[in-house]
A and B are shown apart, each in its own frame.
Chain A
């Protein structure tokens, strides 16, 4: 079976840094995705990790440790528009299983 855990909610101040953790226990592993979903909108792709280490893409970075079944998404220089739900998803081909999502609220 698949078990993907991430915190339900996080709050941070504009300009700050927030780290969203994701731990997973899956029968197989072919990569980990992060998606962003604003309220009432479709999830949009943020990042993909298949090898251990850090992937940086502008203000967003994603880290993966396969041996620990652990990933995090780092959001730097937070902006109000970053208020959204962040979804961790694990690929165990051909399936893609999602965590319940972390709602990030950015306050002025």
Chain B
């Protein structure tokens, strides 16, 4: 059973650019959550998608957005990148919505120069 797959694993962008990250959940999992992880801050919740609908959203600016496709794959986009957006972005999937046991992907490490 394949795990949660995130692409790309590493990327470098410059301020003002935009980035799209992709997440393929475990087969059969319909909920996908996104987290930002930075040293000292821990995991900060971005948003959760279930059945192509955003179910919940964290306290991030509108530059952070996401979507989910009919096959449960999800993408998140960050526009007008800032230096402070440098972080590890983790995707996690679960069978249902409601923050049950999450299975995380290895993450996409974004560096903004």
Contact B42 A42 (CB under 8 A): no
Among the stretches B11-19, B65-73, B77-85, B102-110, the one at the interface with A is: B102-110
- Chain A: number of interface residues, binned into ranges: 20 to 34
Contact A98 B99 (CB under 8 A): no
Contact B42 A96 (CB under 8 A): no
Contact A95 B104 (CB under 8 A): no
- Helix, strand, loop or mixed for chain A's interface? strand
B21, CB-defined interface residue at 8 Å: no
Q: Which of A3-58 contact B (CB under 8 A)?
A: 30, 33, 35, 41-45, 48
* B89 CB to nearest A CB, Å: 12
Chain B: interface residue total (CB-CB under 8 A):
23
B55, CB-defined interface residue at 8 Å: yes
Among the stretches A60-68, A74-82, A86-94, the one at the interface with B is: A86-94
Q: Find chain A residues with CB under 8 A from B42 CB.
A: 87, 98-101
Contact A42 B45 (CB under 8 A): no
A interface residues, Cβ below 8 angstroms from B: 30, 33, 35, 41-45, 48, 87, 89, 91, 93-101
B interface residues, Cβ below 8 angstroms from A: 4, 33, 35, 40-45, 48, 55-56, 90, 97-99, 101-107
